[in-house]
Structure 1
Amino acid sequence: MKRIPLKDTERYTLERFRQCKKTERHLAWLKSRKAGVGGSDMSTILGLNSFKTPYELWLEKTGRVEPEDISDKWAVIRGNALENELRKRFRANHPEMLVTDGTDKQFISREKPYLRASLDGILQGEDGSFGILEIKTASNRRAGDWHDEDGNLRIPPYYLAQVEFYALVTGWMWGVVYAAIGDDEPVEIPFEADVEDMAAIDEAAADFWHFVTTGTPPQLTGNDVQKAFPEPAPDIVDESDDDDLYDLLARYESATGMLNDLKAAQKELQEQIILRIGSHTGVRCGNLQATYKPTTRKEYTVKATTYRKFDFKATEEKEK
């Protein structure tokens, strides 16, 4: 395999991981990653990650908590096992370009050293230009993320943010996402980075890194309150003069009432449909179908845990 010659440029410097053992290289990469923002962080920073919030990432980057070890999760094991094979397969399919492993190095922005890009692969076209190769594996459950409303292949937004971040750091404006989705043949999705997207990513990364360096937490979400305040004071604060809060609570009360009415109506309709099913497994009418099948609930044990529980009620106002 022919190597692509890379060296420091006016845009970035290269950090190379030359440790002999793979585990040592991985530890060196993790240490370097903590010193800045990486491509896989961008979906979280932009609010596109349904599994982690900006506040949770901030806790990790500031050293307040250790990142969760996900190395034993099957999706991660599968992805790591397939990455090199997918890179070799892509190389074999594209003799017109040079394709090399990018995981033994990191690109660090000269202007903003907290911007750090670790690529799965590096491409060089026939015209000598460099490109980005990003390798992904996804289960059938996430296959819908890889298609638009018309069924055409697309890069999911949370991965598009990642590769456009790499373009921001390297200046390489084209690339390919090579994805193994479910058990189907891997697919290629070429991309060209959008300048406006890159500017937005640059600004979001700068804002987030400012939170890290100043020790200021980013805007919390409802899911973050449990972690930020696990042991709240045992008081109920009277904020009766806050009109905005009253409006918020009143709208919640109204929405709860409407939801309860809908649930009651749904339950009544469900009972009527079940009576129509009777001794059958289900009924169909046009394109609508309802079933009432026997099922067995698996026995399981729930571990005891302490958590904060939200409750809401309307109380009688005291006479003044």
Structure 2
Amino acid sequence: MLGGIGMNNKAEYTPEKVVDISNLSREDWLEYRKKGIGGSDVAAIMGISPFATIRDLFYNKTGVQPVIQEEEESNWVAKEVGHRLEDLVAEIFSKKTGLEVFPVRVMFRHPLYPFMLADVDFFVRMPDGTFAILECKTCNYNAKDKWADEGIPAHYVLQVRHYLSVMNMQKAFIACLYGNNENEFVYRTIERDLIEEEDIIDQETYFWQEHVLKNVVPPHNGNSDLVLANIRNYGGFADKSIPEIVLSGLESKNLEKYLTLSEEKSQLEKRKKEIEAEQRAISVPFVEQLGQGCKAVLEDGTNRYRITYNPTRRTSVGKDQMEKLKNQHPDIYEEYTKTTESRTFRIKKEAA
């Protein structure tokens, strides 16, 4: 039976089975996920998720749908690739380590904290007869540096520590394939840390009991771009008919800082434009000799400089043409266009 060797100073326990997920539809699986906190949810609670804020997670668990529906996930291909390559990553790990790897297609929960769920990729049979967890990841080649020097992206560490707690196991492996051969592959070992685990459990418990169960919206945390996206998506489209709002409880010194940063940005942009103009002037004689060519080389006896002047072409529909399309073929216009909204935050300082 899967289960760890027990937590120090705590009673032995065995994870409980929630549901067999081998034949579960994605929709049903997502519904089960709403009944608790999964490993990939922990980073949002801690405010370090690159994908979601704590409010995104809260709304998901409480069934609140965004007012503004974003376009279909732009990274859906990466997610699908990651899912499809899990078996391959596990196979490479097994080949490199000589350890037996096997799946258990079950969603588990912590018997002491039943809101803690675990949907583990694979398990590993260790030589001493105990079991460990294997979490399989993929990333593009440019992201491989996040794994350099024995590193592991922090949100993945939280995910694995959550699983170790639910499964009551002492060791986990996390493997990542970042290329198309077995040498472009890394794996790391994570040992159970009861002190860090206690903090994770405390944070999850507070989120679940004080926010989800009581339906109390948590304060924002995490990446400001994600926070602004959350406010926009759940707040709805802008309404210019709303009267001017008098703000309270906010400090004007932050607006002063914003204005100072705006001035700094303006100066930097001015310098950037000056640099770009100087670069364009330098490029003129080189571009002239290139003509229609796209690449060249220049040698000065010490160095060789390779120059490229490649084209970037794109096809677009102009504003006037879009208006004609809307008037002449409204059905096509509706099918292939989508209304999105972005809002610009500006400050104008006036005398009181």
Q: SS of the residue aligned with 2:101? A: strand
Residue 138 (structure 1) shift = 1.3
Unaligned runs of 5+ in 1: none
Q: Deviations over 1:193-232 (max 9, x none)?
A: 3333212221221222131111112223333221232256
Q: Deviations over 1:151-186 (max 9, x none)?
A: x23221121111111112122121211221122423
Corresponding position: 1:273 with 2:279 = yes
In 1, the alpha carbon distance for the partners of 2:52 and 2:75 equals: 18
Q: SS of the residue aligned with 1:177? A: strand
Map 1:105-254 to 2 at 5 A.
Answer: 105-147=106-148, 152-185=149-182, 186-209=185-208, 210-220=210-220, 221-231=227-237, 234-239=242-247, 244-254=250-260
Map 1:64-83 to 2 at 5 A.
Answer: 64-65=64-65, 73-83=76-86
Residue 13 (structure 1) shift = 1.1
Corresponding position: 1:87 with 2:90 = yes
From 102, 126, 138, the equivalent of 1:100 is 102
| Distance change in 2, residues 1:26/1:88 (3 Å) | farther
Where relative contact order (Cα < 8 A, 6+ residues apart) is larger, the structure is 2
Q: SS of the residue aligned with 1:114? A: coil
Contact between 1:277 and 1:292, CA under 8 Å: does it hold in 2? no
Identity %: 22
Residue 238 (structure 1) shift = 2.9
**Number of residues paired by the alignment?**
301
In 2, the alpha carbon distance for the partners of 1:100 and 1:52 equals: 30
Unaligned runs of 5+ in 2: 5-11, 221-226, 288-295, 318-335
Residue 94 (structure 1) shift = 4.3
| Distance change in 2, residues 1:252/1:177 (3 Å) | same
Corresponding position: 1:310 with 2:341 = no
Q: SS of the residue aligned with 2:17? A: strand
Contact between 1:274 and 1:292, CA under 8 Å: does it hold in 2? no
In 2, the alpha carbon distance for the partners of 1:72 and 1:267 equals: 33
Contact between 2:135 and 2:174, CA under 8 Å: does it hold in 1? yes
Q: Which residue type is aligned with residue 233 of structure 2?
A: K
Map 1:21-32 to 2 at 5 A.
Answer: 22=23, 24=24, 26-32=26-32
Residue 275 (structure 1) shift = 1.5
In 2, the alpha carbon distance for the partners of 1:130 and 1:28 equals: 28
Residue 131 (structure 1) shift = 0.9
| Distance change in 2, residues 1:27/1:265 (3 Å) | closer
| Alignment-derived partner of residue 52 in structure 1 | 52
In 2, the alpha carbon distance for the partners of 1:292 and 1:235 equals: 54
Residue 42 (structure 1) shift = 1.5
Q: SS of the residue aligned with 2:135? A: strand
Q: SS of the residue aligned with 1:312? A: coil
Contact between 2:3 and 2:168, CA under 8 Å: does it hold in 1? no
| Distance change in 2, residues 1:294/1:120 (3 Å) | closer
308-317 or 168-177, larger mean C-alpha shift: 308-317
Residue 305 (structure 1) shift = 2.4
In 2, the alpha carbon distance for the partners of 1:300 and 1:45 equals: 41
TM-score normalised by L of structure 2: 0.74
| Distance change in 2, residues 1:248/1:211 (3 Å) | same
Q: SS of the residue aligned with 2:213? A: helix
Q: SS of the residue aligned with 1:15? A: strand
TM-score normalised by L of structure 1: 0.80
Corresponding position: 1:295 with 2:311 = yes
| Distance change in 2, residues 1:208/1:300 (3 Å) | farther
| Distance change in 2, residues 1:144/1:294 (3 Å) | same
In 1, the alpha carbon distance for the partners of 2:272 and 2:311 equals: 21
Residue 278 (structure 1) shift = 2.4
